[in-house]
Amino acid sequence: MSFDLPRTRESVQGDAIEPGRAYGFFTDTTLCIGCKACEVACKEWNQLPAEQEAMSGMSYDNTRELSATTWRHVAFVEQMDGAAGNADPRWLMMSDVCKHCDPAPCLEACPTGAIFRTEFDSVVVQQDVCNGCGYCVPACPFGVVDVDEVDGKAHKCTLCYDRLKGGREPACAQVCPTDSIQFGPLDELIDRAHERTRALHDRGETDAYLYGVPDSPGATGGIEKLNAFFLLCDRPEIYNLPAAPTLPSRRIAPAFGASLAAFAGLAIAAAALLGGGRR
Amino acid sequence: MTRAKQSPQRRLAHFLRNWSLPRQVRGADHRSSAARSEMSEALRPRFEQAEMVGTSVCPFCAVGCSTRLYVRNGQLINVEGNPDSPVNQGTLCPKGAALLSVHTAPSRLKKVKYRAPFSTEWEEKPLDWAMDRIAALTKKTRDETFVRTLPDGTIVNHTLGVASLGGATLDNEENYLIKKIFGGGLGMVWIENQARVCHSNSVPGLGAAYGRGAATMAQWDLANSDCILVMGSNMAEAHPIAFRFVMQAKERGAKLIHVDPRFTRTSALADIHAPIRTGTDIAFLGGIIRYLLENDLWFRDYALAYTNLATIIEKDFRSPSEDPSNLFSGWNDRKKSYDQESWQYVGFTIPSALAEHYIDTAESFSELTSRLHDHPPREDPTLQHPMCVYQILRRHYAPYTPEMVEQVTGCPKEVFVSIAQALAENSGREKTGAICYAVGWNHHTTGVQMIRAGGLVQSLLGNIGRPGGGILALRGHCSIQGSTDIPTLYNMLPSYLPQPNAFKPQARHYDQFLDDETIPTGWWHNFPKYMTSLLRAWYGDAVGPQNEWGYQWLPKLVGDHSQLAMTLAMNDGLIKGLFLLGQNVVVGGSNSRMVQRGLAQLDWLVVRDTETVESASFWQKGHLVRDGEMRPEEIGTEIFLMPAELAGEKEGSFTNTHRLVQWHDKVIDGPGDSRSELWFMYHLGQRLKALYADSSDEQDEPIRNLTLDYPIRNARGDIEAESVLREISGYTWPQREQLSSFQALKDDGSTACGSWIYCGAFPENDRNQTRRRNADGPDGPGTHLDWAFAWPANRRTLYNRASADPEGRPWSEAKRLIWWDGEEESWDGNDAIDFPPDKAPNYRPDWSKKPEGMEAIRGDEPFIMMPDGRAHIYSPSGLKDGPLPTHYEPVESPGGNLLYPEQRENPVAKKFEREINPLHAPGDPAYPHVLTTYRLTEHHCAGTPTRATPSTAELQPEGFAEIPPQLAREIGVSNLDWITIATARGAVETRALVTERLHPLRLDGRQVYQIGMPWHFGWEGEATGDIANMLTAAIGDPNTSMHENKSLTCAIRAGRLTERRPE
């Protein structure tokens, strides 16, 4: 390099990005203005193609979902009639992203070792290893990983692995106008997030809770924590997040149980119907 | 993403080499390097490949975000927000985030596209050929249409045959050359830019209140506010990075209030959202003013000392609230305008601080204003005098009760009162509040007065000139403030000097012009220094006292030459040739059919832009062709579509929304034959000078004598932009030694200065202050005085003398900004002081000596541009529609005026009534719904270039209109169905986005639906849609000719345009 690398916010804060330390995102939805700068910055940095589709009609969400070529997705939830017990109208906005789960279901399902945990504790699909088997796709409880139609490989957010190696925060976190997306060492982020939740509660915003920090919704079913976690103000399903994500290895037994229960339920219902018919 | 295909063998070998399982089985930690592939090992960020990193400024809105451009092999490889900038702190909005794609878009213009008259196709042409042809056409049209004198002998020296539109997206240096060459050289008066239709109301709106027509505070200072009222603005969407500081304030406990017809992304983040019917802002703000006065919640110590609240007005004055006609006193029914005599301070005629200081008076204007030397305006500090401003204000706003506010605006009374209380609670000695507004207060026939009303609230609350307090005008283009300061606007010369008007008899000679336009007291007393220095900068040694400093060479106005009037003049065949410099008027101009017909009438049209814009392809794909009105073969306009450059591809300065003049470097060349406007204007100017070189005609003297000697810096022919900024900033003549301040300017020709308020931006030959990039650290004062340059004289908070009390002490420790240092006998503080630095608070004019200029301003009068040093709660002159903001209905609205039944709409609103511009009658049942137009965060203005850039186009891929569910049910449409919206001007088809965010309002006992339509869309690019401006009308604010596209009426039905409604 023949130039002085511009100072980054990390270096200004004396907070360099160190291999061996866990990093992640704290996405605080109470600060999100739904501008989608994160989506654009992600595509620009990662050179992901745009998808030109018709408008969705789902509020201002024309991105629709995370995919092989969309690694940040801003969801819009209009609650103008004061839904969920709120007196005031709300328009919830939330920038969704790969959760970089710990442990990670996609990594667990990957037979090739293409998906691995980096020195920053993020989860990355290594493109030179991935053979496109797609096992990771159903393994992900969040619907994040996706196989690209063009190159046949699995893709998702890398937590800007390359930028972290160069000492710079991910593109979406840098660009975010209101710091709704915060990047940093995970332990610090979790502390900050708890503090933030308390502050919101003190202000009367008692709906606020964390999704994905240890021992919280989102950190369930064998997933100890989400390295990209969220501050939410309504049930996870409202944001299209699972109420209780589960590692695939944990899913087999409960799924078996659930099937049994469902079978039993159906049998009882059928019996009841038949019984009613006789009357 | 890597998408290269490899052979199966190579892939297998690579896989085996990189398969992590064997290594993991050997026991290596899966978080260690065990699972890392070769690609992961070698991975490095792309920016490390850069050979050069340059600093630029985002070319979209007026926030002024600093960017870093990373270049390798002459190609951009990355663009990011500059973390060092105090404006954006490394962040960007989605448009700015897309800049790499914007620069490198395959759809960018690279060659000149030429369309011959009546042709059906484009041809590619060499740049030189186009430049020669354009120069020849310009000369031909100018010579054919030039007018030297009017029939009565008045010298006008102008052409009405050539026009120029655009400038708000351009550099200050480019705007300067446009105004200088087109105006000062060729005598064009039709010179306009986006500012006219974006924020022109801000200039008189703020100027008449405080003296300068600009935002009073810096964006970052919002973080210090205790309460922020966002009104007439969808700030989170239109100015996301400025909203960053609103969020910072909110996190520190500030209250955020959004008053808006729609529930937007701004409302979603606000503590209170107050829905109002569009166009009723003055009723709402008038209600606030009444509430503050009647409950005695205003900041008495501030307002009594620093405003004209105690000043006594002529006894004949009547307000519309008192007079049964619901008009102000002075209405002249024959002229359909106001005589302003009865509006004046008792015993005085007060000139306005606006560019046009002169007003029509029966006696000699300069003689009347000269009485300002005699004694200060009469006051009653007890506020008991029935004609003092305070008592007038109370009477004027008496009808604006909370109940009336609810009836007129539709905002529930309780919500209104909670807002009034929040504003009052967060003002005073210890606290400050800010108002952020944008085009929601501009796009009305009462827009100037809406902004005045906001200013009035802030004056009463003592929020001007203080940390965290003020009015932030949020402008829409990167240099729309700059293109207003260095105006590509018809009615002004640089730095708010008036363009002379042929119909002012006093303006026929320079000395009379100076006499009338020079305000005897206050800062504007320096007027002759600024005017003469400008003429010296333009015409050099060719002018002097012997030829009135070239005053006669300046083209004289003969009427309204604003953008709306320009559109009509094109339709009338008066304008033959048009330059469109970065303004997509087919999408952005009111009554787009009228615009398109006007373009089709032209002999020639030059369009300079980065992408193919609708204004260039109207002959091919526009509504005239679509509707069968004209075929391309019938359109005779000769069109040059020229590729333009973006910031970063050229160097120069933008002035952001808070007057911050920021330099952007040239980092790369633009693609192909793309060139800057600086290049274009310079080389066009040189060609024209050559064409006129041998002329001995008197009318060609201005272009022949125009100074145009800027050094060329490279083989492409770019000139040194800094040499233009040096001239703008000013130097001695003829030595050309840079001046450090406008205080050094002289009226004897010994100084040259292109724009006096920018004086000091380039104080030494090698010191470009606009290029400074040192922000305050976390422990600094936070005024960032070493980041770029703010006009005037690097002052960040205007009128900051008001941050201290009359004795010069900060109002409170919490709100310190500047203060009087008695020992040093000077002002001190964290900002550059907006006051004479050694004028003591206890200074009093000696009226026996007939003080002049600043001698007449006391040490406790902070508003130095005003003749009386005070903020004008009451504006005795300068505004055509009255001294106090008054609620009048939009020209098109669903009903009558509950506050003023005898006078429904602004009596002096400009209506450009023509067959092609029909207006709806009030309450016309054929057009029962309210229509408002607006922007989205994902697109920029008329959609150039965000609709053509894939990463932004996909975010809002189609045009739409937002309608409430109740209305959707009534007309039988579901979400995403096609709907047709119609006005008397035209009809458009678009998608319905059915949303409860646009909820119906009660008005006068009935339900009123509001329909919202973003106006970004057009037929070019990837994200397309019908043009909302097909529906809008040419109607104007009386002061500025600003349109009223925020408040119209319309009809709506299900289905597409071609589907007929069942009979």
Q: How far is the C-alpha of B304 from the C-alpha of B306, rounded, in Å?
A: 6
| CA quadruple B471, B475, B481, B483: dihedral, nearest 10 | -150
Binary contact (A59, B89; C-beta < 8 A): no
CATH architecture observed for domain B112-197+484-499+554-644+677-682 = 3-Layer(aba) Sandwich (3.40)
Binary contact (B240, A33; C-beta < 8 A): yes
Summarize the confidence of residues B591-601 as an average pLDDT: 98
Close Cβ partners of B1033 (under 8 Å, ≥ 6 residues apart): B590, B591, B891, B892, B917, B918, B919, B983, B985, B1043, B1044, B1048
Q: Smallest Cβ distance to A175: which of B97, B101, B952?
A: B97
> Which of A15, A31, A33 is the best residue to mutate to test the B interface, defined by the most B CB atoms within 10 Å of its own CB?
A33
CB atoms within 10 A of CB B1054: 17
Q: What local confidence, expressed as pLDDT, does residue B348 receive?
A: 85
pLDDT in tens, B691-735: 999 999 999 999 999 999 999 999 999 999 999 999 999 999 999
Question: Which of B358 and B1043 is assigned the larger pLDDT?
Answer: B1043
Residues of A in contact with B239 (CB under 8 A): none
Nearest CA in chain B to A77: B268
Longest CA–CA separation in chain A, Å? 89
What are the two backbone dihedrals, phi and then psi, of residue B1021, each rounded to the nearest 5 degrees? 85, -170
The least confident of A7-11, B384-388, B722-726, B1048-1052 is A7-11
B366: pLDDT strictly greater than 90: no
CB atoms within 10 A of CB B630: 16
- Count of residues in chain B: 1063
Binary contact (A37, B97; C-beta < 8 A): yes
Nearest CA in chain B to A167: B45
DSSP E strand stretches across chain A: 23-28, 72-79, 90-97, 101-102, 115-117, 123-125, 146-147, 154-155, 181-185, 209-211, 225-226, 228-232
Q: How far is the C-alpha of A32 from the C-alpha of A25, rounded, in Å?
A: 14
B550: pLDDT strictly greater than 60: yes
Q: What local confidence, expressed as pLDDT, does residue B745 receive?
A: 98
B899: pLDDT strictly greater than 60: yes
Q: What local confidence, expressed as pLDDT, does residue B505 receive?
A: 74
Summarize the confidence of residues B135-140 as an average pLDDT: 98
Binary contact (A129, B21; C-beta < 8 A): no
Close Cβ partners of B116 (under 8 Å, ≥ 6 residues apart): B123, B638
B3: pLDDT strictly greater than 80: no
Nearest CA in chain B to A205: B271
Q: What local confidence, expressed as pLDDT, does residue B1041 receive?
A: 96
Q: What local confidence, expressed as pLDDT, does residue A276 receive?
A: 44
Q: What local confidence, expressed as pLDDT, does residue B368 receive?
A: 83
Q: What local confidence, expressed as pLDDT, does residue B32 receive?
A: 54
pLDDT-derived band at B521 (thresholds 50, 70, 90) equals very high
Instruction: List, in sequence order, every residue forming a beta bridge with B379; answer none if it has no partner.
Output: B311
Q: What local confidence, expressed as pLDDT, does residue B1006 receive?
A: 82
Binary contact (B938, A50; C-beta < 8 A): no
Determine the distance in angstroms separating the CA of B445 from the nearest CA of chain A, rounded to an integer.
Answer: 31
Residues of B in contact with A131 (CB under 8 A): 11, 15
Q: What does pLDDT average to over chain B?
A: 95
pLDDT-derived band at A11 (thresholds 50, 70, 90) equals very low
Q: Quick one: B151 exposed, middle or buried, by C-beta within 10 A (0-12, 13-18, 19+)?
A: exposed
Bridge-based pairing state of the strands B638-643 and B604-609: parallel
A9 in B contact zone (CB under 8 Å): yes
Tokens of B7: 């052979």
Tell how far CA B282 is from the center of its chain.
21
> Which of A30, A55, A95 is the best residue to mutate to test the B interface, defined by the most B CB atoms within 10 Å of its own CB?
A55
Q: What local confidence, expressed as pLDDT, does residue B860 receive?
A: 98
For chain A, how are helix, strand and coil distributed in percent, rounded to 5? 30, 20, 50
Left (φ > 0), alpha (ψ -120 to 50) or beta: where does B326 sit? left
**Which residue from B736, B788, B735 is spatially nearest to B758, judged by alpha carbons?**
B788
Determine the distance in angstroms separating the CA of B77 from the nearest CA of chain A, rounded to an integer.
Answer: 9
**Which residue from A154, A127, A126, A152 is spatially nearest to A138, judged by alpha carbons?**
A154
Task: Tell me if A158 sits within 8 A of A100, measured CB to CB.
Answer: no
Q: What local confidence, expressed as pLDDT, does residue A49 receive?
A: 96
Q: What local confidence, expressed as pLDDT, does residue B764 receive?
A: 98
A265: pLDDT strictly greater than 70: no
A278: pLDDT strictly greater than 50: no
A29 in B contact zone (CB under 8 Å): no
A13 in B contact zone (CB under 8 Å): no
Binary contact (A1, B15; C-beta < 8 A): no
Nearest CA in chain B to A42: B97
pLDDT-derived band at A274 (thresholds 50, 70, 90) equals low
Task: Tell me if B330 sits within 8 A of B343, measured CB to CB.
Answer: yes
B267 in A contact zone (CB under 8 Å): yes
B37: pLDDT strictly greater than 80: yes
pLDDT in tens, B755-765: 999 999 999 99
Binary contact (A39, B19; C-beta < 8 A): no
DSSP for B245-267, written as a single string: HHHHHHHTT-EEEEE-SS--HHH
Close Cβ partners of B233 (under 8 Å, ≥ 6 residues apart): B239, B260, B266, B436, B437, B438, B439, B440, B441, B474
Summarize the confidence of residues B620-625 as an average pLDDT: 97
Close Cβ partners of A278 (under 8 Å, ≥ 6 residues apart): none
Bridge-based pairing state of the strands B492-493 and B497-498: antiparallel
Residues of B in contact with A48 (CB under 8 A): 1
Q: What local confidence, expressed as pLDDT, does residue B754 receive?
A: 98
Tell which A residues from 177 to 216 touch B, by Cβ distance under 8 Å: 177-179
pLDDT-derived band at B507 (thresholds 50, 70, 90) equals confident
Q: What local confidence, expressed as pLDDT, does residue A277 receive?
A: 40
Query: Helix or strand or coil: residue B588?
Result: helix
CATH classification (class only), B910-1054: mainly beta
Binary contact (A33, B237; C-beta < 8 A): yes
Summarize the confidence of residues B439-451 as an average pLDDT: 98
Q: What local confidence, expressed as pLDDT, does residue B1004 receive?
A: 73
B93 in A contact zone (CB under 8 Å): yes
| CA quadruple A188, A192, A193, A197: dihedral, nearest 10 | 160
Q: Smallest Cβ distance to A178: which of B68, B243, B938?
A: B243
Tell how far CA A154 is from the center of its chain.
16
A149 in B contact zone (CB under 8 Å): no
For chain B, how are helix, strand and coil distributed in percent, rounded to 5? 30, 20, 50
B107: pLDDT strictly greater than 50: yes
Kindly report the CATH number that applies to the domain delimited by A15-246: 3.30.70.20
Q: How far is the C-alpha of B194 from the C-alpha of B61, rounded, in Å?
A: 12
Bridge-based pairing state of the strands B652-655 and B123-125: unpaired
pLDDT-derived band at A88 (thresholds 50, 70, 90) equals confident
Q: Over pLDDT 90: what percentage of chain B?
A: 91
What is the DSSP secondary structure assignment for residue B842, as one 8-state letter?
A: T
> Which of A58, A94, A178 is the best residue to mutate to test the B interface, defined by the most B CB atoms within 10 Å of its own CB?
A178
B179: pLDDT strictly greater than 90: yes
Q: Over pLDDT 70: what percentage of chain A?
A: 82
Q: What local confidence, expressed as pLDDT, does residue B1003 receive?
A: 78
pLDDT in tens, B300-324: 999 999 999 999 999 999 999 999 9
Q: What local confidence, expressed as pLDDT, does residue A270 receive?
A: 60
Q: What local confidence, expressed as pLDDT, does residue B353 receive?
A: 83
What are the two backbone dihedrals, phi and then psi, of residue B868, each rounded to the nearest 5 degrees? -115, 10
Q: How far is the C-alpha of B321 from the C-alpha of A47, rounded, in Å?
A: 62
Summarize the confidence of residues A128-137 as an average pLDDT: 97
pLDDT-derived band at A260 (thresholds 50, 70, 90) equals low
pLDDT in tens, B180-233: 999 999 999 999 999 999 999 999 999 999 999 999 999 999 999 999 999 999
pLDDT in tens, A154-197: 999 999 999 999 999 999 999 999 999 999 999 999 999 999 99
Q: How far is the C-alpha of A6 from the C-alpha of A15, rounded, in Å?
A: 15
Q: What local confidence, expressed as pLDDT, does residue B34 receive?
A: 75
Task: Tell me if B816 sits within 8 A of B827, measured CB to CB.
Answer: no
Tell which A residues from 44 to 73 touch B, by Cβ distance under 8 Å: 44-55, 57, 59-60, 62-63, 69
Query: Helix or strand or coil: residue B518?
Result: coil
Q: Smallest Cβ distance to B97: which of A2, A41, A107?
A: A41
Q: What local confidence, expressed as pLDDT, does residue B1007 receive?
A: 87
Binary contact (B267, A91; C-beta < 8 A): yes
Tell how far CA B342 is from the center of its chain.
32
Q: What is the pTM of this model?
A: 0.95
Summarize the confidence of residues A135-148 as an average pLDDT: 97
| Annotated domain spans of chain B | 8-42, 112-197+484-499+554-644+677-682, 910-1054
**Which residue from B796, B785, B798, B791 is spatially nearest to B835, judged by alpha carbons?**
B798
